[in-house]
Structure formats: C-alpha cells, structure tokens
Amino acid sequence: MRLPDLGGSRVDGLFVPPFPDPHPKKSSLFWRFVRGWNSWIHVLFQKSYTMKMGEIRTPGLHMYIANELPLVKRIMGEWKDFPKHHLLVRTLDPAIGNSVFSANGDDWATQRAMINPAFQQTALARTFAMMRDAADALVARLHALDLRQPVNIDPLMTHVAADVIFRTLFSQSLGEADARRIHNGFNRFQRHAQSASMLRFYRLPSLGFFGRSRRAADDIHAVFAHIVRTRLDAYRTNKDRGPDDILASLLDARHPETGAPFAYDDLMGQVSTIFLAGHETSASALSWALYCLAGDPETQGRARTEVLAAAGDQPLSADMLRQLPFLRQIFRETLRLYPPVAFMPREVRCPTQMRDKALQPGAMLVVSPWLIQRNPEHWPCPHAFNPARFEDPANKATIRDAWLPFGAGPRICVGAGFATQEAVIVLATLLRAFTFHPAPGAAPEPVSRLTLRPKNGVRLVLKRLV
C-alpha cells in the first residue's frame, strides 16, 4: 500500500494527517546525508516501518534501529548497559549541560535523587490553577488577533506550554516577547544541531553549526538566567528561597553523599532541562492535536460536546477533567502519530548480540517511537487519526508495549501526568472558545530533529464560539 503524502487523506473513513511518503528502498550514503540534513524521518523507507531491526553505516557511525518489542523492552530497561549516546549528550550540551536528562549511570541516579523533591511541585492538584490560568491567557491572546486570517498556532502553543512551565518553575507568567524569543531560539538550536550531527556522522568538520547551536541556546537561557541568578544569590545570602516552586526545591537539593548544593552552572542545567523538556514536547503535541482536530470535524465535534457536558460555561475544575476521557484519548492518539521525541539514541557499552547482529561498543542503538507507533503489526490502520482505538480493551497490550511517547523503563519521563493534564486543560479551553478548520494551502510538514515539529508551523482558521 502506498502511504499518504503530505497533503493528508482519508482511509476507511478516518482522517490521515500528513507525514513523509517513505522511499521505496534504503537511501544511498549520499541521499541519506541530503535527506537527513533537515529531518530524520525523511530518511526512512518503506521497510523501516515493519523491520525488526535495521542497520545503517556512515563514515562516522554504526547505527542500529531496534523495533522488535522485546528488544525495545530490554534496551529501555537496561539503562546502565545502554546509556544515552555520547553524540546526543554532546548535541544537547549547549542547551542543558550535564543534567538529569543527559547524564548516565551513577551520575544520573545521583542527580535524579537530588531533584526528585522538585517534582512534588508538579503534582497535578498543585498545578491545575496555573495551567488553567495559562490556557485562559492563551484564549485572550487569540481573541485579540484578526481571525479573518489563518493563524499559525505553533508559536502560540509554544507560548502557552512555556507559560505553564514558567509559572511552575519560577512562579511567574511568561510575556509574549520572551515566548517568541524561546520559540525562535529553539527552532534555531534544533536546525543547527541537526546539521552539526549529520556532519559528525560523516566525519566532516562542523562548519560552525555547533557554535551556532550554542548561541541559540544562550538566547533561550537569557530569558530565565537572571531569575536563577537572583534567586540563588538571595538563597546564599540569607537562605531566602523565594516562592515555593520548582526552583526553590532545586535550591534546597543536596548531593546524597557530600551534602553539596547545586552550583550555578549545574542549577542552570537542571532548570534548562525541566524548562525545555517540559514545554517543547507539550507545544509540539498541542500543535499536532489541533491540526488533527481541524482535519477531523466529527472528532472535534464529539470532543466539544464532551467538554460542554462536563463544564458548560463554568470555570474548569479538577473534577471536570475526570469527565473528559475522550479528550485524553485524542491527546494519546496525537502522541502516537506525532511523538515529540521520535528517536531515542542509546549507546552500546559492551559487545552485544541482538537478533543476527553483533553490536560493538560505541555503536548507536536507536529506539523509535515514530516507527513502533506506526507499525501495522501493532496498530490497525496505523497512519490514521483514530482516538477511539484507545477505548478498545483489545488494544490494552498494544498500548502497554507499543505506545512509548514518554519513553519506557526506569528513565521514563516523570512529566507524563503533568503533560496530559496540561493538554486536556488547554484543549478543553480552546474547544469551548473556537472551532478549528484547516487553512487553505499546503498541509503542515512534520520534521524530526531533536523533537518533532511542523516545518513551517500549523495554519488554521479559527471561528469564535463565545
């Protein structure tokens, strides 16, 4: 079966949102470089979606892609034997340094123990009001726009997601200028980091792309570095930890053996990790969720009916969220089709046998939610947008084993519940205020770098309901 192109289509009455049409066969070394310059998923070929384990060689890297579920479970579970690949760590260093996301082995375990208390600040009951306020502020920004013209909702989703994290981290809302700076800065960071990675894979000079990614990261850090520095100085001077937020918990954190607190650079690394991981992935998922709803009026209508039945025109409450199961399924289906982190690279530490392949130390071993979650062996009509599949008890095992947008194993993302509550609040708030329709012209094109994003944004036509 020929897979749909970027224009989107319908299969068996289901909306199929856009994704790159896979190539009929594996790309040559040259075309792999050209196609991977901007996006990893554009290198994939038809067999990529069904193979058990693939192998790719470049001049600077030996890479394997493990799609067989028992292998995936082993790789993600044995986190010490398969740490995050050193090339990924180097790529992320300008943005997050040596933090809990990029650290490996005992260093990761120590950092995780230090920051665990900070995650108490993300308790769903504690953050509900912050998320609702950020969603209401988003609606106000949309009402202020000229909605006679299509709206690029991608930077707006970055703003609301970053606003939620900003309130949780720093007890402050995020202004429009800083939100724009973050959106543009992270887009630049990803683009330059992608180019630098491809050049390293081919043992070519970085041509300044690594330096450009560092400057883009510095631009993002400038939005909140002064907050971290001011709070740290106050804490060191008179033990004033400021508001009871994530930053306050990080200021209190101590090394389990030495009792030492985070130094400024280490503190910035942890803050940057929580901020970037916490907003970028949610922003990506929200943009794609709104596009899928715009392309599927029936699903959009059912979701709006559910929200109105639960909340009417009253302010959202935590109890109301429990009455929105279909909206949660929409978010889960969006994460299946467009996992924000589409590829998870790990490193082989010791000689390892997997299937018929002998993996040597230093090789890159990739687990790909993008491929696993679009594999027809796991998911019927895998490229179609069908939230109802998550309501079917027959899919319980598949959902458990072949749905991993938050990763798996001991290093699974601790923010899964946070992200789900945030998405439900934002989507419910928007569905009560607007209808969404695809804008005329080209459909959004997904590109996969560090995260999965629409290349030129997502343009939608919004119509006011209130």
Q: Is pLDDT above 60 for 8?
A: no
CA 285 from chain center: how many Å? 7
CA distances from 100 to 84, 105, 212, 372 (A): 11, 11, 24, 26
Mean pLDDT of the chain: 93
Instruction: Calculate mean pLDDT across residues 181-207.
Output: 92
Q: Rounded to whole angstroms, how far apart are CA atoms 458 and 4?
A: 19
**Start-end of H helices in 351-453:** 369-372, 396-402, 416-433
Query: Long-range CB contacts (< 8 A, 24+ apart) of 128-133?
Result: 128/318, 128/321, 128/421, 128/425, 130/164, 130/167, 130/168, 131/164, 131/421, 131/422, 131/425, 131/426, 132/315, 132/316, 132/425, 132/429, 133/167, 133/173
What percentage of the chain carries pLDDT values higher than 90?
A: 87
Please tell me the distance from the alpha carbon of residue 311 to that of residue 425, in angstroms, as a whole number: 11
What would the two tokens of residue 255 be?
A: 């090394």
Average pLDDT over residues 171-192: 93
User: In this predicted structure, what is the pLDDT of residue 123?
Assistant: 81
- pLDDT, residue 215, reads 95
Strands 61-66 and 364-367: parallel
> Hey, CA dihedral for 286, 290, 295, 296, is it positive or negative?
positive
pLDDT category at 277 given cuts 50, 70, 90 is confident
404-439, pLDDT tens digit by residue? 999 999 999 888 999 999 999 999 999 999 999 999
Q: Which two tokens stand for residue 226?
A: 């002064």
Rounded Cα gap, residues 447 and 40, in angstroms = 7
On the question of pLDDT at 290 being above 80, the answer is yes
Nearest to 384 by CA among 50, 4, 15: 15
Q: pLDDT by residue (tens digit) across 378-395?
A: 999 999 999 999 999 999
Q: Could you state, in order of their start, the residue ranges of all structural domains in the chain?
A: 42-464
Q: Quick one: which of 425, 331, 417, 415 has its CA closest to 128?
A: 425
pTM: 0.94
Task: Tell me if 350 is assigned to a ligand binding site.
Answer: no
Give the pLDDT of residue 316: 95
What's the confidence (pLDDT) of residue 5?
42
pLDDT band at 7 (very low <50, low <70, confident <90, very high): very low
Amino acid (one-letter) located at 6: L
**How far, in Å, CA of 147 to CA of 82, rounded?**
49
Does residue 3 carry a pLDDT above 80? no
- Cβ atoms of 189 and 213 within 8 Å: the answer is yes
Nearest to 174 by CA among 322, 275, 63: 275
Q: How far is residue 40's CA from residue 351's CA, in Å, rounded to a whole number?
A: 27
Architecture of domain 42-464 in this structure: Orthogonal Bundle (1.10)
Calculate ∠ Cα 342-168-118, nearest 5°.
Answer: 85
**Which residue in the block uniquely carries the two structure tokens 């709006």?**
304
Averaged pLDDT, 266-280: 92
Instruction: For residue 448, give the nearest of 365, 331, 291, 338 by alpha carbon.
Output: 338
Helix (H) or strand (E) holding 75: helix 69-77
**DSSP for residue 119:** G
pLDDT tens digits, 72-103: 999 999 999 999 999 999 999 999 999 999 99
- For the cut 50, the answer to whether the pLDDT of residue 1 exceeds it is no
Given a contact cutoff of 8 angstroms between Cβ atoms, the answer to whether 157 and 291 are in contact is no
